[in-house]
Chains A and B, each alone.
Chain A
């Protein structure tokens, strides 16, 4: 579903930068809808995997299977995340058809690597949400609030250097901020500095997310096993 909004976000962002006569910011406008789709699909849709399994009465079977639950969740999340990459095709088409903008890849290898690393990091992070939505009922109240604060902290459209100084340390632990900068740099003709380290940061933060999600998931599964509420029935 978030893929439906990608063309509209693309029109909005491209309209803003081009109306201002800032064609140099086109890379910012075209990458933001891709990252937004990635975030929404992975964190919001995939985040509900455990809870949905519970509603459908299949969580018991998932737990009883010999495979590790968090690894299964990660794989399922990654499948959804992979769909989010279709957003880039939508952006490319809208930019070309409505604004006559051709997206040039000056560092295509880095672009693809960053997309892949971002997908992995997003999937790892989504495991946290899958756990939290089951652990805390109130977490669902905040589900709707997990979008724009992270788009700001992640520098999805505007680099984090434009944020107040006190927010920058916080944004550096949001993998989106590293992904967004790298994706934009890969569309820029200038050489990209420290690409390997920055890619490593994306992967490290994603791995950190997965580890935290795995610990949370284990705790949750222990709890629902102990109190006999694996299923709702």
Chain B
């Protein structure tokens, strides 16, 4: 078997393992009654602020931003993969295997990008009409691939963070908690980027969500196609950038864990 075929084979099995994980966590009923209720409540929580402000445009701004944020939240969950392996005691085995850990982790968690995009779109298309938001047909269909790009970029970012958590396990909880709220605070989800200092605006441009969300807002605001595609391309570049960084650093971080024996909780 060629190296490429071997890698594809590993990714295929890792993806199936990820799906099995997900099926163990959620059934259709618990996904709808638990997860989707939470997601829609999260979007409604922020959209209600717009209602409180008495401004429909603010309501829609908050609603779109927080719906798309769901894609990022789920995508970034991929950083939990290493912790799950560590708890299960399989992390040392994985590192010792001939496959690259980052290939396994990136494939195993990729269902999260799909789940993130679906959850975000469901939130948008359920909460939008609840708050009287117009979803211009067929233009709104462009939101579907754009949300997928946001989910993918967030997932790549999460894979990079997984490497950090791999090495510095004591900060796992901190990274999980702060990433979600940091993206919420800094990526133009609730207020325009221009509200914050310019340095923060530049920083947010290399984070997932920011550029993709601008593209999606462009769809709703009737922006020209070039602007939308430009922002979408930037979001795609952010995805490629974070995955490149993840590929470059992940195995090194894992090797250090192997050297100092910190791969499992027994160490």
Contact = CB atoms under 8 A, between A and B. Distances in A.
Interface of A: 1-2, 4-5, 8-9, 11-13, 15-17, 19-20, 22, 25, 28, 138, 141-142, 144-149, 151-152, 156-159, 162-163
**Chain B interface helix/strand/loop/mixed:** helix
Interface in B160-195: 173-174, 177-178, 181-182, 184-185, 190-192, 195
Interface of B: 25-26, 30, 34-35, 37-38, 41-42, 44-45, 48-49, 51-53, 55, 58, 62, 173-174, 177-178, 181-182, 184-185, 190-192, 195-196
Nearest to B39: A148
Contact of A5 (B38, B49, B178): B178
Contacts, number: 92
Contact of A152 (B35, B48, B52, B173): B48
A8 B185 contact: yes
Contacts of A156: 45
B190 A145 contact: no
B195 A158 contact: no
Given A2-B177, A5-B177, 4 more contacts: A15-B191, A17-B53, A19-B192, A145-B35
A15 B186 CA distance: 11
A162 B30 contact: no
Given A138-B30, A151-B45, A145 B38 contact: yes
B181 A19 contact: no
27 contacts: A1-B173, A2-B177, A4-B174, A5-B177, A8-B184, A11-B185, A12-B185, A13-B49, A15-B190, A15-B191, A15-B195, A16-B49, A20-B53, A20-B55, A25-B53, A28-B52, A141-B30, A142-B34, A144-B35, A148-B44, A149-B37, A149-B38, A151-B41, A152-B41, A157-B48, A162-B51, A163-B48
A137 to B, nearest CB: 11
